[in-house]
Every structure is written in C-alpha cells, then in structure tokens.
Amino acid sequence: MKNPVYTAIAIGVGIVVLLGYFLQIDLLANLRIVLLEWATILVAVALLVGIVNLFVVHFRKSAADQQNRINSIVLIVSMTITLLVAGWFGPTHTYSLWIFNYIQIPIEASLMAILTVMLIYAGIRLLRRKPNLLTIVFIATAVIILLMSGALFGIDIPGLSELRIWIGKVPAVAGARGILLGVSLGIVAAGLRILIGADRPYGGS
Amino acid sequence: MDGLNVLGLIYVLVFLGLILATSFILRTRESRRLRDIPAFERLGRAIGLAVEAGSRLHISLGRGHLLTTQSAIGFVGLSILDRIARSTSISDRPPVSTSGEGSLGILSQDTQSDAAKYLGVESDPTRGRITGLTPYSYAAGTLSFIQEEDIGANLLIGSFGNEVALITDAAERKEGMTLGGTDNLTGQAVLFATAQEPLIGEETYAGGAYLGAGPMHIASLYAQDILRWVIIGMILIGAVLKLFGVL
C-alpha cells in the first residue's frame, strides 16, 4: 500500500493547482504558480537524474563483454565531450553550436530520411497485413495528398487540387477532431483518477 | 471568473461525479462488461506467451512531459507497466521499460520497484531505462535496446511523434508483437501503419481498465463513454441549429 502522506500531498497539490486554474482567487492563483515553479525545478532535476541513468546503464554495458558494446562506448565518449564543451564554454558558444549543428542535426536528419523509406515500406506491409476497407482508405488518402502536394510532372490536372483541399478541410479535420475529443476525454479521466487517489504513479510503498 | 472558466470547472466536476457514481453502481454489480478491443485481447495472449517462452515484455513510455497534458498518457503507461509487472510474477524475466523523459524514467523505476516489493522479489533499477532525451535519440536508444534484448512483446503507450516508426520497425524485425497508442495525431497515424495492434484515440487511455488496474479505471471508462455521447449529441444539435440559421 502506498504511503498515505504521499497520496495526501499529491491530492492536495492537485486540487490547489486545478482550482487555481479555474478560480480567479489571488491566494489560489499565487499558490498554483509557486507549486508549478517547484514542479518545474523537480522536472529539471529529474532530467539530470535521467542523464546520469543513461550514463550509468551504458557505462555498465561498455564495461561488460556484451554484443554492440561499441554503441555504448560511442555514447559515453560523445556525452562526455558534449558535457565538457557545453559546460566549459557555455551552450551558445561556437564550439557547442558546432556540435549541435554539425553532429546532432545531421544525425537526426539522417534518421528522418530513413523514416521516410520505413513509412513507405510500412504502408505496403499494412496492405498485406490488414487488407480491409479502412487500410485502403488510409493508403489512398495518403497517396492522394502526396500526389496533390506538388504538380505531377508539371501537369496540373483540373479538380485534383480542389480534391486535396476538400480532403484536408473536411474528412481529415473531422477525423482529427473525433480522435482529439476521445484523447481529451482520456486525459481528463486520467487526471481525475490521480486527483482522487485511484491512480498513484508515485513512490512510497 | 469568466464564463469559460465556470464551464470548465463544471465539466470537471460533472466528470468527477460521473466517475464516483459509476464506481458506486459498479460496486454492486458482479459483471462489468467492456466493449471488445481486440488489441487488448491479443496483448493478454502475448503476455502469456512471453512468460511461457521466457522472453521479456517491453513497455515504451514515450516522452510525455509531466508538466503538460502529455503527462496523462505517461500515467496510463505507468498503470499498464504496474499491472504487467505484477501479472508476470511467475516469469524469471520481468518486464523492462524505456522512456525519453527524466521524471517519467524515475516514475517507471519506482513503479517497477513497487511491483517487485509487492511480489517479494529483488528490484533492479536498470529495468526502467531512459534511452534518450530528444525524440530521435530516444527512438535510436530504444531500437538498439529492442535489438539487443530478447523481447517477446512491445507495448508503446506514451507520447510519440513520427519517430515511433523506428521503434516499431525494430520490433517487427525481432518478430515481437507490437501494440501502440499515443496522444499525438501524427504518432497515431504512424502507429496505425506500423504497429500490429494500433490503439486509436481514447482506446489508449482504456488500457488500465482492460488489464485489471482497478474498479476506478472501469468507472472512468464508463464516465468517458457517457460524456462522449453527450458531446456527440451536442455536436448534432449544434449542426442542426446551424443548418436552420439559429446559431
């Protein structure tokens, strides 16, 4: 069973933040801001803990005689160099920006490029895996939108750009709104479960 | 206090009232029927198979920031992690989780530690890993993790963008089952195309109820269903009023 003190703190803070958002009472609004500032600091500390966790896991992997340990060694060396450079010179110095612009961005752009190929392959695989009407509509819509995004071989087929605009404005927006309404209901339900202590994703057993 | 804030507060209070009322009504009923979501049925079978085969279950919690609305999907992922960690007690290979956000990583370690204490087994903090802190570094870290470990099934429940395709592709190559749900529209479209069992919209948030996380999860699911019909009704009434020029 979770420690009731942690549960009481979580519920109390949750109620104050929620009421501070809806009710324009100075005390509640100020308390909400202070609590959110504390939460921001905690999240920043958690980020540092996350970096330490990443380092420790890969340090252990690189020390052990494991397959693909080279990946962990590369990660540790890169992380150490980046931390030293950004820590010593500052995050906006030319050296730090060089690492960001010439190493991180190209690597992430390469992953994005791989992603394009993967998504095309996934589309083909989807037709084989789930050959139903929903899949056909999904693939057909994606293909139509892609084809209409640019002039095909310089040929402007009349009516096609209007079709693209209509798909973008009517069925796509309607579907997106439907999904977002479901998501928003889920978000409120998940938040309320935590607020009443039914869900307790924090420590203190 | 403006009108919009009052409406917002009323909405939250009505939702809360519905959850509490439904949980009270359900307490007296023996059977609590939920509509079929095939993905969760297959997940149950995949968990059983993974336990029998001695392979691991991987729960990817995404990059939901705890100070934004993305936290909700992160908490749903943690509930599912908790249920799975407890239900795979007979397995000698407990589930592992990956996340791309510091606080979510700490909470996942905490959840696993709680489950280990409940089962009376030793907890290992490296079962809750942070594999990267930007979208693509998180995906790259997670896919290399999937490639290295003997994973039987992958559950991707969290905030993901299009980078999730890199993770599902790695899972597909390892021939493991992939179930995925996210709060992000782009991520949902990508998961629909790449995951074996995609969850759409609110289905993702129903995970706790389908995995037996407690009566409140079921009650909140009923409350969601009631409010969804209310919203549908309001949209239809609004459309009719607009058609007749009243609005």
What does the H/E/C string look like for A77-128? HHHHHHHHHHHHHCCCCHHHHHHHHHHHHHHHHHHHHHHHHHHHHHHHHHHH
pLDDT value of position A182:
92
pLDDT value of position B31:
65
Residue A120 located in a structural domain: no
pLDDT grade for A159, boundaries at 50, 70 and 90 = confident
pLDDT value of position A88:
94
Residue A35 located in a structural domain: yes
Nearest CB partner across the interface for B216, out of A51, A108, A193: A193
Please tell me the distance from the alpha carbon of residue B239 to that of residue A11, in angstroms, as a whole number.
Answer: 39
Residue-averaged pLDDT of chain A? 88
Please tell me the distance from the alpha carbon of residue B76 to that of residue B65, in angstroms, as a whole number.
Answer: 13
Q: How far is B60 from chain A (nearest CA, A)?
A: 15
Nearest CB partner across the interface for B165, out of A24, A119, A201: A119
pLDDT value of position A1:
55
> What Rg do the C-alpha atoms of chain B give, in angstroms?
19
pLDDT grade for A77, boundaries at 50, 70 and 90 = very high
pLDDT grade for B207, boundaries at 50, 70 and 90 = confident
Residue-averaged pLDDT of chain B? 88
> Can you state the angle between helices B164-173 and A105-129, rounded to 10 degrees?
60
pLDDT grade for A146, boundaries at 50, 70 and 90 = confident
Alpha helices in A170-204 (DSSP H): 171-195
Substitution target in B4, B27, B66 with the highest count of A β-carbons within 10 Å is B66
**For A169-203, what is each residue's pLDDT tens digit?**
899 899 999 999 999 999 999 999 999 988 888 76
Please tell me the distance from the alpha carbon of residue A205 to that of residue B40, in angstroms, as a whole number.
Answer: 28
How many C-beta atoms lie closer than 10 Å to residue B193's C-beta?
A: 26
Residue A122 located in a structural domain: no
Please tell me the distance from the alpha carbon of residue B77 to that of residue A201, in angstroms, as a whole number.
Answer: 10
**In terms of C-beta distances under 8 Å and separation of at least 24 residues, what long-range contacts does A62-70 make, across chains too?**
A66/B148, A67/B148, A68/B144, A68/B147, A68/B148
Structural domain including A8 reads: 1-89
- Backbone phi and psi for residue A200, each to the nearest 5 degrees, phi listed first: -130, 80
Q: Is the pLDDT of residue B141 over 80?
A: yes
Q: Using a CB–CB cutoff of 8 Å, tell me whether B132 touches chain A.
A: yes
| Domains: count for chain A | 1
Q: Is the pLDDT of residue A4 over 80?
A: yes
Q: Which of B102, B134, B155 is nearest to A112 (CA)?
A: B134
Question: Which sequence spans correspond to the domains of chain B?
Answer: 37-212, 214-247
Q: How far is A191 from chain B (nearest CA, A)?
A: 6
B37-212 is classed CATH 3.40.50: yes
pLDDT grade for A101, boundaries at 50, 70 and 90 = very high
Sheet holding B151-159, edge to edge: B128-130, B96-99, B56-62, B151-159, B177-181, B197-198
pLDDT value of position A2:
62
DSSP, collapsed to helix, strand or coil, labels residue B130 as: strand
Q: Is the pLDDT of residue A142 over 70?
A: yes
Residue A146 located in a structural domain: no
Residue A80 located in a structural domain: yes
